[in-house]
């Protein structure tokens, strides 16, 4: 998540005011350098979330230096957009690109997740995101930093190589999350109303990278998406949890808080064996008990407006139609929301968390083998499937992964699941295409 400094001592990071400064409440600039160096020593890359669609509502001093910073033509959910295509926009574009290059050169960051690129309005011949991507790739030619967008548009040209496309390395593909969420929870509020949660939807999403490729969307009240045919599947980033999908819920529930652990284990197998690039959110690998709430630390006047706006936002949901119920939504300004969102690291030493952590470690190791696998997955209820050929190398009902196993019954060429679960078979035929591109 973003680390540009902001007023106050706690924030998700999307209210950045000092774009070139690591947030002081996280440590010194040299502390960030040490963190990145430590990650590199053990073979980990560091991808930084950056926000180029708006400034935070308080303390954004850059706006005081020039009237050209903000657009007079484009608005977005946070107010005036940044000026990327009007008079004086070349300096604004350069400032933002230099910001990205600053993180690469000064801190050796290995890539970026661009926040809400669908809210970056630019009518220039070369879109700002395309220009930024090219500049970041050129910053370190021997090992180009990656650029990944958060974008709900399902736009194929974003992850198509130049000159036909913008050349991004990946895009968050939320259709996967939404289909699985509806399948396992039955929720249909908000953007979930566009999904039925069927196996057919899920199969199409996994095969193509996203579900909506031009079909009408009831939530957006327009057609959504483009044809992803031919795009490598590793350019689609899929997840079961993200800070948005959890934190934008009134009470910050994770998916495994809304379902049972058997369902969570099955969904985790699906995520980590899909050909897309999997994204894990902190703590999901051990089914963390802590929620992830929206939290802020604005000055009193702004903070009151944030609290009121947060609660009003949920008024359109049936569960919060009653004002008294909305008043019980955790106050983002209260320190309790921040404290409740902290991971409880001692959980990983006890059940059911230790078993879930072992499952994730095993799944990641299997994925890294790059071999031909067949997974039989029951995401909801119980079901019967034909048994594939091969040797079972993982069973989510193994006692190593759960303390109350209910193994699937395998006989007469059939697999009967008693509850949600998954079996992974190692095929007898070598795979000509690696599981992880």
Average pLDDT, the chain: 94
285: its two tokens: 């690998």
Give the pLDDT band (50/70/90) at residue 370: confident
Q: Yes or no: say if 167 and 132 are a contact pair by the CB < 8 Å rule.
A: no
Place of tokens 């540009």: 4
The rounded distance, in Å, linking the Cα atoms of 271 and 180 is 10
**For residue 115, pLDDT beyond 80:** yes
Q: Residue 421: pLDDT above 80?
A: yes
272 and 230 Cβ atoms separated by less than 8 Å: no
Determine contact, residues 158/232, Cβ cutoff 8 Å.
no
Q: What pLDDT was estimated at residue 325? A: 85
Q: Is residue 118 over pLDDT 60?
A: yes
Catalytic residue set? 115, 150
Decide if pLDDT at 209 tops 70. Answer: yes
**50-59, 283-292, 303-312, 427-436: least confidently modelled range:** 427-436
Q: Is the pLDDT of residue 354 over 90?
A: yes
- Choice between 412 and 196, residue whose per-residue pLDDT is larger: 196
Which spans in 234-392 are helix H? 243-247, 255-258, 261-273, 300-313, 323-326, 335-340, 353-369
Q: Give 319's DSSP letter.
A: G
Give residue 437's pLDDT: 26
Reported as a single tens digit per residue, the pLDDT across 169-203 is 999 999 999 999 999 999 998 899 999 999 999 99
Q: Which of 64-73, 272-281, 379-388 has the highest mean pLDDT?
A: 272-281
Mean pLDDT computed over 251-259:
97
Please report the pLDDT score of residue 428 as a whole number: 58
Q: How far apart are CA 231 and CA 28, in angstroms?
A: 41
Average pLDDT over residues 332-356: 97
**Quick one: how far is CA 393 from the chain centroid?**
29
In sequence order, what are the residues at sequence separation of 6 or more whose Cβ sits closer than 8 angstroms to the Cβ of residue 121?
71, 73, 74, 76, 81, 84, 85
Average pLDDT over residues 41-62: 96
Convert the pLDDT of each residue in 295-307 to its tens digit: 999 999 999 999 9
- Distances in Å between the Cα of 393 and the Cα atoms of 276, 363, 382 are 21, 10, 21
The whole-number pLDDT of residue 87 equals: 96
Residue 434 pLDDT exceeds 70: no
Cα(339)–Cα(299) distance, rounded to whole angstroms?
Answer: 19
Phi, then psi, of 306 in degrees rounded to 5: -65, -45
Mean pLDDT over 65-94 rounds to 95
Tokens of residue 341, six digits: 């969102």
Confidence (pLDDT) at 429 = 53
pLDDT band at 436 (very low <50, low <70, confident <90, very high): very low
pTM for the model: 0.94
Residue whose tokens read 């050929």: 389
- Give the DSSP H/E element, type plus range, for residue 275: none
Structural domains in the chain, CATH included, are: 4-344 (3.20.20.80), 353-426 (2.60.40)
Three-state DSSP class for residue 406: coil
Percent of the chain with pLDDT over 90: 88
Single out the residue of 329, 220, 240, 237 nearest to residue 282, CA to CA. 240
- Are the C-beta atoms of residues 260 and 404 closer than 8 Å to each other? no
DSSP states along 204-219: HHHHHS-S-SSEEETT
pLDDT-derived band at 433 (thresholds 50, 70, 90) equals very low
Tell me, rounded to whole angstroms, the distance of Cα 252 from its chain centroid: 15
Q: What is the pLDDT of residue 172?
A: 98
Residues 394/363, Cβ–Cβ less than 8 Å? yes
For residue 352, say if its preceding peptide bond is cis, omega within 30 degrees of 0: yes
């Amino acid at each position: 998540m973003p680390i540009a400094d902001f007023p106050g001592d706690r924030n998700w990071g999307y209210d950045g005011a000092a774009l070139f400064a690591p947030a002081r409440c996280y440590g010194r600039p040299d502390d960030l350098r040490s963190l990145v160096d430590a990650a590199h020593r053990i073979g980990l890359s560091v991808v930084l979330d950056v926000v180029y669609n708006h400034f935070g509502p308080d303390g954004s001093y850059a706006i005081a230096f020039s009237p050209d910073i903000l657009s007079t033509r484009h608005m977005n959910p946070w107010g005036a957009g940044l000026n990327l295509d009007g008079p004086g926009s070349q300096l604004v574009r350069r400032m933002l690109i230099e910001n990205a290059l600053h993180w690469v050169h000064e801190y050796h960051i290995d890539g970026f997740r661009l926040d809400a690129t669908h809210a970056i309005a630019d009518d220039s011949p070369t879109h700002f995101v395309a220009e930024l991507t090219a500049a970041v790739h050129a910053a370190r030619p021997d090992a180009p930093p990656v650029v990944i967008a958060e974008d709900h548009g399902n736009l194929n040209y974003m992850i198509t190589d130049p000159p036909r496309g913008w050349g991004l390395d990946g895009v968050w593909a939320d259709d996967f999350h939404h289909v699985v969420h509806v399948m396992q929870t039955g929720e249909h509020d908000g953007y979930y109303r566009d999904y039925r949660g069927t196996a057919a939807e899920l199969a199409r999403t996994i095969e193509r990278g996203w579900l909506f490729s031009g079909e009408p969307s009831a939530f957006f009240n327009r057609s959504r998406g483009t044809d992803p045919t031919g795009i490598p599947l590793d350019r689609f980033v899929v997840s079961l949890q993200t800070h948005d999908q959890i934190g934008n819920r009134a009470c910050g529930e994770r998916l495994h808080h809304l379902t049972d652990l058997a369902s969570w284990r099955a969904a985790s197998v699906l995520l980590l064996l899909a050909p897309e690039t999997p994204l894990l959110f902190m703590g999901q690998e051990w089914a963390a008990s802590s929620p992830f709430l929206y939290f802020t630390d604005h000055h009193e006047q702004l903070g009151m407006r944030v609290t009121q706006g947060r609660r009003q936002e949920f008024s359109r949901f049936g569960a919060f139609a009653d004002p008294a119920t909305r008043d019980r939504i955790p106050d983002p300004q209260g320190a309790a929301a921040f404290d409740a969102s902290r991971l409880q690291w001692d959980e990983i030493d006890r059940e059911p968390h230790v078993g879930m952590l072992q499952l994730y470690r095993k799944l990641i190791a299997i994925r890294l083998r790059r071999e031909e696998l067949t997974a039989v997955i029951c995401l909801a209820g119980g079901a019967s499937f034909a048994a594939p050929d091969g040797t079972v190398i993982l069973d989510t009902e193994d006692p190593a992964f759960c303390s109350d196993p209910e193994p699937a019954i395998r006989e007469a060429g059939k697999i009967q699941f008693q509850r949600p679960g998954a079996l992974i078979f190692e095929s007898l035929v070598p795979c000509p295409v690696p599981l992880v591109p």
